[in-house]
Amino acid sequence: MMNRRQLLQTGLAMGALAASPLSAAPKIPKYDVPEKYLPRYVTLRVDLPAYQIHLLPDEFALYWTLPDRKAIRYTCGIGRPGLYEPGEYYVGAKKEFPSWTPTPEMIERDPASYAKYKDGLEGSLSNPLGARALYLFQPGRGDTFLRIHGTDKPNTIGRAVSNGCARLVNDQIADLYERVPLETRVKLYHKMGT
């Protein structure tokens, strides 16, 4: 029997995965992104605890930390000005091909774009949460409605365009999703100068 550390080192998530036949799941295509946006192993300048997510908004970089100051760096899109919410979170839920419903705040901010979806959209590669989503929670607050999720729009990576969530192209969020167990600590850092 593998212990938690061994499971994490093999990239197996501790959280329950949706029970659906493999043939029913849509295939996730590889997205054409610039080479600099591909995930890569890096050595960190600082010693961070292993198996956490750290997001640096000024770099549009999301790091999945590993032992010995190593990490996997993903390039992400972040919340646009006024909607990015730095802080400490944990992964409170994980979903494959999650359904999506705009928040009341999104509908109020931009009714022309979001009111038509008030009843939600079923999960798919092209819905706003994409192929996978990690749901960010805070103690005492519960679900923050912030997500680390997929997108089929590679042109939104490396930009501040979302309603507050962090996004990776669908094939990259699928990779991260398999590595990250429930209860994982997530830190969204402040932007420089704020």
The token pair at 138 is 């805070």
**Annotation marks residue 149 as catalytic:** yes
**What would the two tokens of residue 108 be?**
């109020």
Write down the catalytic residue from 54, 76, 165, 190. Answer: 165
CB-hemisphere CA count at 13 Å for 81?
2
Q: Tell me the one-letter amino acid at 42.
A: V
Q: Give the 3-state secondary structure of residue 182.
A: coil
Residue count (the chain): 194
- Catalytically annotated residue among 54, 76, 149, 190: 149
Is residue 76 flagged as an active site residue? no
- In angstroms, what is the C-alpha Rg of the chain? 16
Active site residues: 149, 165
